[in-house]
Structure 1
């Protein structure tokens, strides 16, 4: 049996044409748009780097100290304001001054080191501070001279149960006291959600 084969004509290979100038410009533009957020992110990472400062501390109040030229608000806690009054055993007492004295005792003249990357609305560094290996933020809550303000809830529960410090009587929470005494800028808590929000704002804020 004979079989006839039909041969298809071979197609000649033609190299692809180089993209036009307009096409190349469009591709470059899309690349810049895609990489833009990454470039911006890299440029802003220096804004959230951890800062560390240390030295002899000046104690301003129960949760604020000054190290050199850096004013530091202790992160995750909130102590009575220096002029704040609380009540215990049927009498008023200067709980704000006692909160400051508690922090002075915890430091006991030792060098203090603080680390942090956030700043509050007043420009103070939100820091985790130590003196002689002691966590000062935690210790203030344990002593009952500061409340948990985004952290240290377990320590606060123990201080409250033991009626330590301000828990031995009645008091206005410091942020409520500030608001009722005309402080225009009420500070929000230093919790995880606030930290994430601050990081995103700091990264994407324009120069």
Structure 2
């Protein structure tokens, strides 16, 4: 993940901005209760984790890039919230260490299909019974837009892929659509998105 650390170090600004992801705000807001525990996977510079902490959640913000973790700590301090900032590779996480009320993964598309399957499985394991899993990523049409994401077809999401991995959960939202993103310099312009909100039975 050193390329991500280099990418964060190369910018004086927050690469994806300081504001939370729109999908997260829309779908987490009606499901959040103060005091909930939340795991934010590949949370980068902390924009989503900090917003969740502002809603009264106890948040574990995890990212593999030390430079991102430093910015996440700075953003939490700037916003006056406490957050557990953990620098760890998602591939080496102990998914059984804790059960969370909500597990969030926004644009973590560095993973090839084999690794992605492991991450999806781990995220489900880390979600407690009755808890929520929220995932947003780029769909295949993103290859045309080129406004963010890996540009590797195998790393992108489809509705069938999400059904395959999360069909054993109570799927509350599963949709594919195009929308304009404005998230720092990293995500700008029309984007092909795939959203999932699922509840663990």
Tell me which interval the TM-score lies in, with the shorter structure as reference length: under 0.3
Greater share of residues in strand: 2
TM-score, structure 1 normalization: 0.27
TM value normalised by structure 2 = 0.28
